[in-house]
Amino acid sequence: MKQLFILTATILFFSFTAPLSAQRNDFIKDYLERFENSRKYLVLVAETMPEEQYEFKASPESLTFAENLMHIGYAMDWHCQSLLGGRESRNWETDTVYKVGKKSKKEMISTIEKTFDETIKLIEQFDPIELDEELDYFGLNRTKRQIFLLLADHITHHRGQMLVYMRLNGIVPPRYVLFQ
């Protein structure tokens, strides 16, 4: 009788917790699909803009096309590798990986591809149970799930600026990639 009670309690426990676990795993799976599409579109945008236009900016206080691209990489690295992954943050003032400097278009795209690879690897290994954990985000309490969403928004924001730069230079941007 005691074994029947334990078996029944175990079955009931897992029948309630399994859907929660599946939802968390679905978030990571859905996020990775969206993130990979975001990667494809960003790289396509970067490849479409002629290298001689990489220094274009819409106003004196704006980032250049190249700076927007590398800023996306820096923010991706910081959000995932440092904020979520626990690695010490790069110092923007001394960092050379994400500064445009004398990098060619090809080198910048390669850096972005590598950063996406590293970020995707971290996300694939991310424990979904941690999604509801909170951390300090510029003085605000945010869950790790919210950090993933903030990262996606940040990429979209800067890529949107890059698309405007293309239009301002008479270049038709690549067709939008869905599900990102």
pLDDT band at 180 (very low <50, low <70, confident <90, very high): low
At residue 56, φ and ψ (nearest 5 deg) are -70, 140
Instruction: Count up the domains in the chain and report the number.
Output: 1
Instruction: Answer yes or no: is pLDDT of 44 > 70.
Output: yes
Helix (H, G, I), strand (E, B) or coil at 135: strand
Instruction: Answer yes or no: is pLDDT of 20 > 50.
Output: no
The pTM of this model reads 0.84
Q: What is the pLDDT of residue 178?
A: 76
Place of tokens 């067709």: 175
How is 81-134 classified by DSSP, letter by letter? IIIIT-PPPP-TTT--SS--TT--HHHHHHHHHHHHHHHHHHHHH--GGGGG-E
86-135 pLDDT, tens digit per residue, is 888 888 888 899 999 999 999 999 999 999 999 999 999 999 999 999 99
What is the domain extent for residue 101?
Answer: 27-47+62-168
Of 159, 172, 174, 163, nearest in space to 112 by CA: 159
Residue 21 lies in a domain: no
Q: What is the pLDDT of residue 104?
A: 98
Instruction: Answer yes or no: is pLDDT of 21 > 50.
Output: no
Q: Which residue type does 91 have?
A: N
CATH of the domain at 100: 1.20.120.450
Of 107, 93, 124, nearest in space to 31 by CA: 124
Residue 127 lies in a domain: yes
Rounded Cα distance between 121 and 97, Å, is: 19
Residue 32 lies in a domain: yes
Residue 55 lies in a domain: no
8 Å CB contact between 30 and 40: no
What percent of the chain shows pLDDT beyond 90?
A: 76
Residue 152 lies in a domain: yes
Residue 175 lies in a domain: no
What average pLDDT does this structure show over 52-77? 97
Structure tokens, 89: 């943050």
Residue 149 lies in a domain: yes
What average pLDDT does this structure show over 131-146? 95
